[in-house]
Structure 1
Amino acid sequence: MQAPRRVAVVGGGWAGLAAAVRATELGAHVTLFEMSGQWGGRARSVSDQSPLLDNGQHILIGAYRDTLALMRRVGADPDRLFLRTPLRLRYPDHEGLRLPGGQPLLSFLRGVLRYERWPWRARLALLAQSSAWLFSGFKCPPGLSVAQLCARLPEPVRVDLVEPLCVAALNTPAERASAQVFLRVLQDAMFSGPGSADLLLPRRPLGDLLPSPAADWLQTQGADLRLGRRAQDLQPMEDGRWQIDGEHFDAVVLACPPMEAARLTQPASPIWAEQARSLRYEPIITVYLRQPGACLAAPMVALHESPSAPAQFAFDHGQLSGQAGLFAFVISGAQAWVDAGLQVAGNAVEAQARAALGWQGAIERVRVLAEKRATFACTPGLARPPALIASGLIAAGDYVAGPYPATLEGAVRSGLAAANVAISPCKTGAKSTTMAA
């Protein structure tokens, strides 16, 4: 009998964990390197904080089928870990667009027609434009921005729907965001099947959703988990295998951040390394505030952004995790506020909470967290690095070439595809690594 293929996965975020689980399922002996002291990558819990907080407030949607399936395979129960509701954009002072359950096209039609806050002209314009996108196969010129794509939509539709969805999904403002990627998100979220647009809001810390269950599952399957271990050197071998710090592997999946992957691949593939190194990023700031006795109109509310009011969404952890009085305010596309400083950002969010939510009295600032490289800047025509770097060397992560923005689902799909190539390189072509639809 042939010995199992030895596969190294470098990076213990959601892409790396997905690759490690899939490779193990396919019979490989997996060694998983993670240079930090915890699993989860950019979607993790902050271990030094009490109460336990996440480094950012994440949202999943019903269309994240590969992520939800992976959670179930490693023993995590999405039905228990998430609050699942139909898509609802609730604002502090009024109900926003809300989609009923059921068949996607009919649900979208009913939701838009029933939204009386928009005049009939705006509702019909959105339905007409959505029909045009549908009949075009959700395709558009690659150089188009979301703002250009939606320029003919009435202002209430752009302000109440397009701009919040764009910054939530792509973490890039509409005037700089890729219209083609945005259309793909709309296609999968709104029109890919019953429940695809549902919001899944975590009831538990991010570490409980996938990172900890996946690491526990891998350990029980005999994988070699090396937490707090950075891969220092990656070299090709004459027999087609790869060597990490002197240790031999049949295949390597690089599921680490792009800059780290570029460092490791520079000697073997300088062109790929330069493409990974050239990516630009958008930060996200999460401001955790405590206001005893306060409660939002919904577990998640949308906020109107302005130059002095930076947060686009607020989350009520009393309704989600039972931590009454704890709230998370999210600033996506937050480069200007990172430049201004986290103290300034925290002050602005407190003022926004008082103005938008009517909070009075003392507000406790629990913590302000910034993920400076939260996502790549999802701009029009962006050329992302391919997943296949060289024979037996595959990149995995939400940044590799593919149709999705930097999302957990994109990371998981990339990891699963990379593992398939690592195990069956002769049967799976390079196209499998691009998360093709």
Structure 2
Amino acid sequence: MTRLAVIGGGWAGLAAAVEAVSLGASVTLFEMAPTLGGRARSLEGTGPALDNGQHILIGAYKDTLALMRRVGGDPDSDLLRMPLRLRYPDRETLRLPPGPPTLAFLRGVLTCTAWSLQDRLRFLATSSLWTLRGFRCDPALTVAQLCGGLPRAVRDDLIDPLCVAALNTPSTQASALVFLRVLKDALFSGPGSADLLLPRRGLSALLPTPARAWLLSRGAELRTQRVQRLEAQGRQWKVDGEVFDAIVVACTSVEASRLTRDLAPHWSAAAGAFEFQPIVTIYLESAGSALPAPMVALRESATEPAQFAFDLGQLGQHPGLFSLVVSGAAPWVAQGLDATGAAALAQAQRHFQWATPPKIVRVLSEKRATFACTPGLNRPDASIGPGIWAAGDYLAGPYPATLEGAVQSGLSAARSAMRQPVGATSS
């Protein structure tokens, strides 16, 4: 039986561990935090259970949804599925109806009365050109450069919020090539691919908690431990002195760079060279209040930081609890969390009606929420060396940092480890 070490208990590590166990490996998972889930988990503590950030899944996340089902989850009930809809406090913009993706997109744009007919036709013409070009462009382009010829209303209402939501990078800095790939897979990969899937339960309940139970019930070992050292031993590996046949390094890029510095210097340097974008989540409480919809888009500005607001009561979690999300939040983090929270609270007070005055419950900052998804970014491959693979949403590939990317990388790393287990033994 192949002895596999998985280092990191985020969604990539959990995917790798579950897949490896399914393929017959003896798995030991190392996670330095007291709870599994990495950057998509629920926080422990008193009061309402909060997540460390508000995550949105989409219908195109087929591998993530399949993994949730495999470990006993029920995404059909745990996630609220709704058509892609960008509703602002003062008006509706794009809303995609059900049906075949190309037809749904065409109908959605043509019926978007928030935009003039001329603007709608210009957007359809531009998106048709993207389709004809296979959703590819000059890798050096930013999203702002790619979309510079689009009408201002389309950029403000659709392009900029989708870009910062998907890539966590402002359109003036974000990779146009990655953005086009996201649009292709979300909008045109099949019926329901663009649907928004909003968590009805805490993030830990979606995957980390059921995955933990699934792994333990099948003999996997879970250790709360920060790995200090990896060493090669012939055709095997040592993890802090313990021998394994193969390793999946599924921790953050920073930790992965540290662990591989001596083993694979070039790979380590690439993993350690990322710049990061933070995400700030502001939780508000207002008894008896409700937003116009479970998710409402907001227009950010120099004084208003949040791009989206969520009504956790309408999502079946906590009535009277709301979250405001600030993606690409580096300028606001520089001002401090108190200032960011106060500005977001003032923004919410201006744009929504409240039954009782909203109060800040907590302001959370994930300083390394994602890598900055910029043009021409050098991302390391999954193969670190013989018998050792990486898993994580930062690896080379066409997607930005997403849960689906993390899960896909974990599944792939586990399969590679089981196909070519260096020094594997039979039992």
Pairwise CA distance, 1:360: 7.4
Q: Which amino acid aligns with 1:47?
A: E
Aligned AA (1:388): S
1:281 correspondence with 2:276? yes
8 Å contact from structure 1 (residues 145, 179) kept in 2: yes
Give 1:359 deviation, angstroms.
3.9
Letter in 2 for 1:254: V
Match of 2:381 in 1: 386
Pair 1:369-2:355 in alignment:
no
SS in 2 for 1:41: coil
Q: Please list the CA deviations of residues 177-196 of structure 1 after superposition, one character each: whole Å capped at 9, or x if unmatched.
A: 00010001000100000000
Distance change in 2, residues 1:245/1:139 (3 Å): same
* Residues 274 and 371 in structure 2, CA contact (< 8 A), matched pair in contact too: yes
Q: CA deviation at 1:303?
A: 0.3
Structure 1 residue runs of 4+, over 6 Å off?
none
Q: Give the Å deviation of 1:322.
A: 4.1
Q: Which amino acid is 1:151 matched to? A: G
Amino acid at match of 2:405: G
Give the distance between the partners of 2:329 and 2:421, measured in 1 at CA.
Answer: 43
Instruction: Tell me if structure 2 keeps the 8 A contact 1:354–1:360.
Output: no
The answer to whether structure 1 residue 235 and structure 2 residue 228 are counterparts is no
Assess, with a 3 A threshold, how the Cα gap between structure 1 residues 292 and 426 changes in structure 2: closer, same or farther.
closer
- Aligned-partner Cα distance in 2 for 1:266–1:111: 50
Asked if 1:23 is matched to 2:20, the reply is: yes
Q: Does the residue aligned with 2:243 lie in a helix, a strand or coil?
A: strand
The SS at the match of 1:185 is helix
**Higher alpha-carbon deviation: 315-324 or 191-200:** 315-324
Within 5 A, what are the aligned runs for 1:208-227? 208-226=205-223
How much does 1:289 deviate?
A: 0.4
AA matched with 2:232: P
Residues 201 and 317 in structure 2, CA contact (< 8 A), matched pair in contact too: no
| C-alpha contact 2:12 2:408 (8 A) present in aligned 1 | yes
Counterpart of 1:53 in structure 2: which amino acid? L
- C-alpha separation between the residues in 2 aligned to 1:51 and 1:343? 21
CA distance in structure 1 between the partners assigned to 2:240 and 2:156 by the alignment: 52
Q: Give the aligned partner of residue 430 of structure 1.
A: none
2:413 is paired with a residue whose SS is helix
1:375-397: CA deviation from partner (whole Å, max 9, x where unpaired): 00000010111110101110100
How do 1:105-144 residues align onto structure 2 when only pairs under 5 Å count?
105-144=102-141
Deviation sequence 1:344-399 (CA, Å, 0-9, x none): 00100111011111447632210000000000000001011111010111010000
Map 1:19-98 onto structure 2 (within 5 A): 19-98=16-95
Equivalence for 1:432: none
Q: Say which SS state the counterpart of residue 54 (structure 1) adopts.
A: coil
**Could you say if the C-alpha distance between residues 165 and 387 of structure 1 is closer, same or farther in structure 2, counting changes exceeding 3 Å?**
same
Name the CA distance, whole Å, in 2 between partners of 1:401 and 1:19: 17
Pairing partner for 1:153 from 141, 150, 154 = 150
Distance 2:70 2:355 in 1: 46
* SS of equivalent residue, structure 1 residue 45: coil
AA at the equivalent of 1:312? Q
CA RMSD of aligned residues (A): 1.1
Measured after TM superposition, the shift of residue 417 of structure 1 is 0.5
Of 6-15 and 271-280, the range deviating more from structure 2: 271-280
Per-residue deviation at 1:39? 0.3
Deviation of 1:321 after TM superposition, in Å, equals 2.2
Offset, 1:306: 0.6
Distance in 2 (CA, whole Å) between partners of 1:22 and 1:247 is 22
TM-score (norm 1): 0.95
Instruction: Specify the SS of the correspondent of 1:42.
Output: coil
Q: Is the 8 A contact 1:255 1:395 kept in 2?
A: yes
2:15 partner SS: helix
In the alignment, does 2:240 pair up with 1:257? no
- In structure 1, the residue corresponding to 2:281 is in which secondary structure? strand
Q: For residues 282 and 139 of structure 1, what CA distance do their matches in structure 2 show?
A: 24
How big is the shift at 1:325? Answer: 1.2
- Which residue does 2:418 correspond to in 1? 423
The corresponding residue for 1:294 is 289
Of 317, 322, 328, 1:327 maps to 322
Q: How far apart, in 1, do the equivalents of 2:418 and 2:327 lie?
A: 37
Q: How far apart are residue 151 of structure 1 and its match?
A: 0.5
2:262 partner SS:
coil
Q: Does structure 1 residue 318 correspond to structure 2 residue 313? A: yes
Count of residue pairs the alignment pairs up: 422
The one-letter amino acid of 2:366's match is E
Which secondary structure state, in structure 1, belongs to the residue aligned with residue 29 of structure 2?
strand
Give secondary structure in 2 for the equivalent of 1:287: strand
Opposite residue 203 of structure 1, the aligned amino acid is: R
Instruction: Name the structure 2 match of 1:169.
Output: 166
CA contact (8 A) 2:68 2:206 kept: yes
Match of 2:425 in 1: none
Distance 1:71 1:87, change over 3 A: same
- The letter for the 2-side match of 1:117 is A
Preserved contact between residue 63 and residue 407 of structure 2 (Cα < 8 Å)? yes
TM-score by length of 2: 0.97
**Deviations along 1:24-65, whole A, 9 cap, x unmatched?**
111111110000100000001111242000000000000000
Give distance in 2, aligned partners of 1:233 and 1:45: 29
Q: Is contact 2:276-2:369 (8 Å) kept?
A: yes
Secondary structure at 1:308 match in 2: coil
- 1:93 and 1:212 map into 2 onto residues whose CA distance is 39
**Offset of residue 415 of structure 1:** 0.3
Q: What is the CA distance between 1:235 and its match in structure 2?
A: 0.4
Q: Which runs of 5+ in 1 are unaligned?
A: 428-437
Aligned to 2:313, what secondary structure does the other structure show? Answer: helix
Which ranges of structure 2 fall in alignment gaps of 5 or more residues? Answer: 423-427
Residues 1-30 of structure 1, C-alpha deviation per residue, up to 9 Å, x if partnerless? xxx111100000000000000011111111
Which stretch shows the higher mean deviation, 288-297 or 368-377? 288-297
